[in-house]
Structure 1
């Protein structure tokens, strides 16, 4: 059987172009990793010794760095609780918007898009006053509630789209067999939108993991500090700023994101694989 090589040859220009465009980013990440394990003479790009000194914050206190593990725990709690609450509400609210004949449904959908597009920074003063009134200022739960509420319109809209891709016949078959609406939703509909659930959970977790502005404003105390705020505080130290230490902590900060992507990459690549058309 004769192989068609014309397509392979035609892909080479695109591959070469993408490689050239990506080379600055690749070089940047290469030196980011290299600098965290080596020392280089001043003004030189070539390292002269291998060292683990820049990772000393993992097993002991590093100068200028305090509370790193508590900040890591706070960041994990913040991102996990935020992702869990967004998934729980979006899965139920998205189903209701998709399947139920709600009054003012079009107005509700338009309102969700408007809320998602609304600039967050314009709400800072109002949110500050509300958190002060309810006693949740400078607490992790207060920041979680704010971020979850701001992310929910996007989550509900996304899940509504996935529910729309599931044919009615699947639910009707379950109801005719005597199953309740909740059982049909849990056992028949949710498996059809599994890629969407995973994608929304990953996006919500990463949004919480990377968040800086809300924790910085509404949870400034060191007891509830997250990693993004800790990194920002390191930059502000102009007198004893260890750039390689800063890059090591930044690499430590991004490792969970890389692990999460490697675990769910196949699901994320097939994000629109849910729903079986009847």
Structure 2
């Protein structure tokens, strides 16, 4: 019994250390966003100080306001998420349910695209967008984001569709329901959790993406991840404003996670009880 308690205590300590390592950077960014520049650069670091909102006022309403950048990030992320889910849901259903010739190879291709290093394909993407005149445009960046978010979404959604018993579709077919009606009224309500998980991951990846955005965007379309560099220069780094931007950039993702929390938990645990599977 003593060994069991020691093992549980050790696991608790290790888990606590991992959580602390994850929380500390966020806590420190929030803390620095309420400081002034002198307090941020003070050594040893100040934990007790007079909080100020000057950094938030500067990044939201100052000459380097990030409001247009937040709008760009929202349009790109929302557009990528909507298009990805509109294509991924029927594609994943087809791969999971229909006996389409070459479906196994299609599934392998979807998974293989996730293994490509982004650095290796960014130059072809740049040349393609430049040749069709879509550089520094919403449609261009959304198209590129769609190319790597769609395989991920399909791969994730297939596993949820495969957990739905075939008997549910067979019963609907006996009642005269078409496959499309069955998908819309019976299957999709059963995979709401999986859809919520996929939406959150796709939105999160698009919102936080940096490498493609820094190469393919410009002055017209400039996501918030790129706008952070407005506060970093050779002469100095505006740490308080940079911290404020990072906190603001985290808020939409946090809000989305909180709103979809119920469905996310359901989606992540849906595989615990297997359904019919592929026949």
Q: Which TM-score applies when normalising by structure 2?
A: 0.88
Question: How far apart in 1 are the matches of 2:250 and 2:143?
Answer: 24
Residue of structure 2 equivalent to 1:56: 57
Instruction: Give the 3-state SS of the residue equivalent to 1:49 in structure 2.
Output: coil
> Per-residue CA shift, 1:108-136, capped at 9, x if unaligned?
11111111211222122222222122221
Contact 2:84 2:146 in 1 (8 A): yes
Contact 1:196 1:272 in 2 (8 A): no
- Aligned residue among 175, 178, 187 for 2:176: 178
- 1:196, distance to aligned residue in structure 2 (A): 0.8
> Per-residue CA shift, 1:49-68, capped at 9, x if unaligned?
22111111365215xx24x1
Say if 1:20 and 1:158 are closer, same or farther in 2 by CA, change over 3 A.
closer
Residue of structure 2 equivalent to 1:223: 220
Question: How far apart in 1 are the matches of 2:59 and 2:33?
Answer: 13
| Number of residue-to-residue matches in the alignment | 270
Instruction: Give the 3-state SS of the residue equivalent to 1:224 in structure 2.
Output: coil
Query: Any unmatched runs of 5+ in structure 1?
Result: 1-5
Once the two structures are superposed, the pairs formed by residues 14-163 of structure 1 within 5 Å of their partners are 14-39=11-36, 40=39, 42-46=42-46, 47-57=48-58, 60-62=61-63, 65-66=64-65, 68-163=66-161
Question: How far apart in 1 are the matches of 2:251 and 2:15?
Answer: 25
Residue of structure 1 equivalent to 2:261: 265
Question: How far apart in 1 are the matches of 2:86 and 2:179?
Answer: 17
Say if 1:100 and 1:23 are closer, same or farther in 2 by CA, change over 3 A.
closer
Residue of structure 1 equivalent to 2:195: 197
Query: Any unmatched runs of 5+ in structure 2?
Result: none
Say if 1:128 and 1:28 are closer, same or farther in 2 by CA, change over 3 A.
closer
Question: How far apart in 2 are the matches of 1:27 and 1:137?
Answer: 38
